[in-house]
Structure 1
Amino acid sequence: MNSFKHIVPVLSTLLLVSCKKFLDVQPIDSVSDGQTIIDKTSAETATRGLYRALSADGYYGVTFQSIGYLSGDNVQWTGSQSIVQQFISHNVRADNANVASAWNAIYATINRANHIIAKVPNLTDPLLTESLKNQLTGEAYFVRALAYFDLVRTWGGVQLALTPTNSANDKNGIKRSSVADTYAQVLSDLTAAEPLLPETTNRYRATRKTVWALRARYHLYQSEWALAESYATKLIGDGTNYNLVKPYSAFFANNVVATPESVFELSYSTTYTNGHRNQWQPPANNGTRQWAPSDAFLTLVNDATIGGNRNTLVAKTAQGLWYGNLYYRSPATDPAYVLRIAEQYLIRAEARVQLKNLSGALDDLNAVRSRAGLTASTAVTQGEILLAIENERRIEFAFEPHRWFDLLRTDRVAAVLGVTDKNKYVLPIPASEVLIDGSLEQNFNY
């Protein structure tokens, strides 16, 4: 069945905590039944299920994230499956199973959000306060905004599904929206989420601050420099709750979670593990090392004048085999990092360059460099500073899904990666989806 018409499975009974604990702690394992949101208990359970969908293997658990870095130049594929090599060689086919997995997982997440948005505001359970209704609805708007943001930057304009799916035929015939309209939906959802959410710090659940962080990224992608700077400043200015922890590895090493570096991360448990770890760790550490740091990246990150103390991102086996070490825990309870404060600094740095505030841009760039144990940048001109920021982002977010999208949004793919066919700058719509729904137009040349 077409996952775009996904019907969320029946929920399992869960031990629910108080409203305060629900808002303050990381999500517990759960499965959502979006069609059975009838009271406070089921509304909270559905929201936990929303985060479960966001953290699933097809989305931030593995597959979507891997598209962002396999398509760049920091990672090499060591396995035999051609479907993964297609991203590295930029010859992705419409029948690629990973493309379908990511697409399906993102739309399944959207559908869960749609159920919450449609149903929670109308519930009459006396135990469900208005503030909690707002909180849960705002979380759903935020997650839906993130999902459409990820869809549009990966596939271009997509079908906008804004109501719950209840049958297999509900969404037949929806035409793809334009890129502009899809981005407009992202902003609409973020705008709706912001006043509904509390201005609190929660690194596992969406709050007003989480919205600000995604808005900073959104406005950067839209070249809306003043707004990007403004929203990034909201997070950077909150030094009590967010700061660049030192050294670089302090946000992920020694089994830490939810450090002040993190604006929004996804949690995993011994019964619900993060699939990244197995792909990165070598057989000596009971992994498969299906993907590994590229030779070019190893040269950069191990250069003390470029990588600084970020060489902790990589490690080497006794046999001399290099591997990525961002995901290392056993069992694989490593968080998935969605929004970090370092990104906010580099967003503001880039925005300030574009606004001709070069000294301010260098201040932000050098804050990130200082945390990495590096000296101040020697860049002077606008062009030099922009390139310095690009290079800093490459190392800072090497194993997070940024590099490919950074080169796309700055129109640097051809110059850096040598990919001159702009048709390859978006992925194909999964062939299975196009086959099922004749109104779903395939991207050009796929």
Structure 2
Amino acid sequence: MRTQKITLTAAYLFSLTLLLGSCKKYLDVVPNNALPTASAIIDAGTARAAIIGTYDGLQNYYSADYPTLGTITADNVIFNGTLSEYLQLDQNAIPTDNVITVSAYRKIYRMINSANGVIAGIPGVNDPLLTPEEKNKILGEAYFLRAIGYFDLGRGWGGVQIQLNPTVDLNALKGVKRSTLAQTYDQVLADLVKAEELLPADDANTRNRAQKSTARALRARLNLYRENWTEAEAYATQVINQPKFKLVDNYKTFFTSPFLSSESVLELSFSANDRNSFWNLWYPSSSGGQFTLKPSDGFVAKINNPAIGGSRKSLVAGSGTTVYGVLYNTAGVSVDPAYLIRIAELYLIRAESRANSGNLDGARADLNVIRTRAGVAPLTGGNKEQVLQAIADENSLEFAFEAHRWFDLTRTKKTGEVLGVTNPNFWLFPIPYSDILSDPDVVQNPGY
């Protein structure tokens, strides 16, 4: 049976009953036509709609905002449009009211609030059509989605306010102070442990909803960010050893229709009724796009060098001043997936973890899996620093237009060296100004 696609239509059915807004205080009344999430989940149908609504929240910030934050802020992508909010990101001069950072921040909290509602509401459902197995599956998905939400907040904004209950009365949030980044990541870990316990074993055809391997993959990434090399390697290995995942032979295959390739550990599906128009920011006006996000000249030179980019040159098209990215390429129909986790990332997570643990042979072996697929000669030597640099370079090319590069530079403290952003205060995005004004318990990140 084909994997269910998460569509806006399904999400809309439940959105009428969701509390509009997140755990942020930019609303001052509870809408008359909304019910608290936990109250709205009453049977099998509303439980299923609730979790699809939560996935829709993840789609909302991964369809443009979050991948933009992970790309234009770094060196592979530059500003090529007219809107100041993108120029601010490109120049790493981000005001506290930048439209994209504010939108991403709030959308993440909305998704978290939806997950909180599912976690609170599902245990009380007593419907024979909702089996214990399906209950566990939905709960596991909600814990996973909350985990990725707090992970994305943590790596973007640092330690944040942690809210684990659905927001029913906005006044109840007063007194919630920001946690440290360590505490935020502790919550991510706790949710992933719970998600892995509840989620079903991997189904061979499911790649756009969370399963056990999805939780393990995010746990590998979390441990990489926390520099827990042994744990990162162990969880990456569990996912790599899962037979359903393998690198596609041709790099371009994973981002061309019909999608959901063997490479995807988790991608979010879109449809004609639930569109992902992110391609529009990448394509030139001659192809109907805005051409706001443009591959940098340095990146284009590397990706077109057969000894460096190999087959990954398929990420770009055009020539001269009109070279553009084609990872998101369904112009007109707008059904590109949002790529959250690919098996290629797990190989590079394990490679980096092994290199930092002193296992250089193992690190090179994993790195060379990615290089070989791209048609690039394997790395055969090098000390620890050289191997780590080779892994970083490979990450930069392999995930050039996905939400990786900026966060890889900040977590490895290479932002100053590569981008000239030497002040670590600016390695985090600002908390939205409106949130600072409305909530005395929210402290702004230093430097803003």
TM-score tier after normalising by the smaller chain length: over 0.9
SS of residue paired to 1:146 = helix
**2:106 is matched with which residue: 104, 107, 111?**
104
Which of 228, 232, 237 aligns to 2:232? It is 228
Amino acid at match of 2:120: A
SS in 2 for 1:339: strand
Q: Distance in 2 between matches of 1:380 and 1:79?
A: 41
Aligned counterparts of 2:81 and 2:140: Cα–Cα separation in 1? 41
Per-residue displacement from partner, 1:392-420 (whole Å, max 9, x unpaired)? Answer: 00000000011111111111111111111
- 1:144-183 Cα shifts (integer Å, max 9, x gaps): 0000000000000000011001133232331101111001
Contact 2:144 2:192 in 1 (8 A): yes
Aligned to 1:422: 424
DSSP 3-state at the match of 1:256: coil
Shift of 1:256: 2.4
Deviation, 1:423, is 0.7
C-alpha separation in 1, matches of 2:216 and 2:107: 25
Change (3 A) 1:71 1:320: closer
Cα distance per residue 1:348-369 (max 9 Å; x no partner): 0001111111111111100000
Check conservation: 1:121, 1:134, Cα contact below 8 A: no
Alignment-derived partner of residue 7 in structure 2: 28
State the match for 1:9 in structure 2. none
Q: What is the CA distance between 1:304 and its match in structure 2?
A: 0.6
Q: Of residues 210, 216, 230 in structure 2, which corresponds to 1:212?
A: 216
Counterpart contact for 2:351–2:364, Cα < 8 Å = yes
State the SS of the aligned residue for 1:279. helix
Matched letter for residue 149 of structure 1 = F
Listed as ranges, the gaps of 5+ residues in structure 2 are: 19-36
Q: Normalising to structure 2: TM-score of the pair? A: 0.92
Over residues 47-94 of structure 1, what are the superposed CA-to-partner deviations in whole Å (9 max), with x where a residue is unaligned? 1111111001xx101011100111110001111222111112111110
2:55 pairs, out of 39, 51, 55, with 51
What is the match of residue 324 of structure 2?
A: 323
In 2, distance between residues paired with 1:180 and 1:269?
38
- Kept in 2, the 8 Å contact 1:282–1:288? The answer is yes
| TM-score, normalization by structure 1 | 0.92
SS in 1 for 2:387: helix
Distance 1:307 1:345 in 2: 18
2:360 to 358, 371, 374: 358
- The aligned runs of 1:181-220 (5 Å cut-off) are 181-201=183-203, 202-220=206-224
TM-fit CA distance, 1:126 = 1.6
Q: Could you list the per-position Cα deviations for residues 218-250 of structure 1 after superposition, in whole angstroms to 9, with x for gaps in the alignment?
A: 010111111111111111112x31111011111
Cα distance between partner residues in 1 of 2:191 and 2:252: 34
Aligned to 1:245: 248
Displacement of 1:322 in angstroms is: 0.6
Matched letter for residue 78 of structure 1: N
Match of 2:284 in 1: 282
The aligned residue for residue 62 of structure 2 is 60
How many angstroms apart in 2 are the aligned matches of 1:40 and 1:265?
A: 25
Equivalent position of 1:406 in the other structure: 408
Query: Structure 2: how far apart are the matches of 1:266 and 1:383?
Result: 35
Matches of 2:372 and 2:446, distance apart in 1? 44
Aligned amino acid, residue 44 of structure 2: K
Q: 1:320: how far off?
A: 5.4
Corresponding residue for 1:139? 141
Deviation at 1:275, TM superposition (A): 2.6
SS at match of 1:55: helix
Output aligned runs, 1:368-379, within 5 Å: 368-379=370-381
Identity across the alignment (%): 44
Question: What one-letter code is carried by the residue in structure 1 that aligns with 2:368?
Answer: N
Distance 1:153 1:65, change over 3 A: same
Q: 1:114-153 maps to which residues of 2 (within 5 A)?
A: 114-153=116-155
The letter for the 2-side match of 1:341 is I
- 8 Å Cα contact 2:80-2:293 kept in structure 1: yes
SS in 1 for 2:171: coil
Deviation of the 1:378 alpha carbon: 4.0
Are residues 1:441 and 2:443 paired? Answer: yes
- Residues 203 and 265 of structure 1 are in contact (CA less than 8 Å); yes or no, is this contact kept in structure 2? yes
Distance of aligned partners of 1:320 and 1:407 in 2 relative to their CA distance in 1, 3 Å threshold:
closer
Aligned length: 420
Aligned to 1:79: 81
Moved over 4 A (4+): none
Counterparts of 2:126 and 2:178 in 1: how far apart (Å)? 36
The equivalent residue for 2:22 is: none
Tell whether the 8 Å contact from 1:379 to 1:388 is kept in structure 2 after alignment.
no
**Aligned-partner Cα distance in 2 for 1:151–1:88:** 20
- Report if the CA contact (8 A) 2:7-2:273 is conserved: no
CA distance in 1, matches of 2:4, 2:101: 33
Q: State the partner residue of 1:166.
A: 168
SS at 1:170 equivalent: helix
Secondary structure of residue in 2 paired with 1:49:
helix
Is the Cα contact below 8 Å between 2:154 and 2:181 reproduced in 1? yes
Query: For residues 293 and 381 of structure 2, what CA distance do their matches in structure 1 show?
Result: 33
1:339 to 327, 338, 341: 341
Aligned partner of 2:391 in structure 1 is 389
- Structure 2 residue identity aligned to 1:205: R
Q: Is the 8 A contact 1:328 1:334 kept in 2?
A: yes
* Structure 1: unaligned runs, 5 residues or longer: 1-19
Alpha-carbon separation, structure 2, partners of 1:231 and 1:372: 24
Task: Quote how far apart the aligned CAs of 1:286 are.
Answer: 1.0
What residue identity is the alignment partner of 1:248? Y
CA RMSD between the two structures: 1.3
Deviations 1:178-237 (A, max 9, x none): 111001000010011111001113211011110011011001011111111111111111
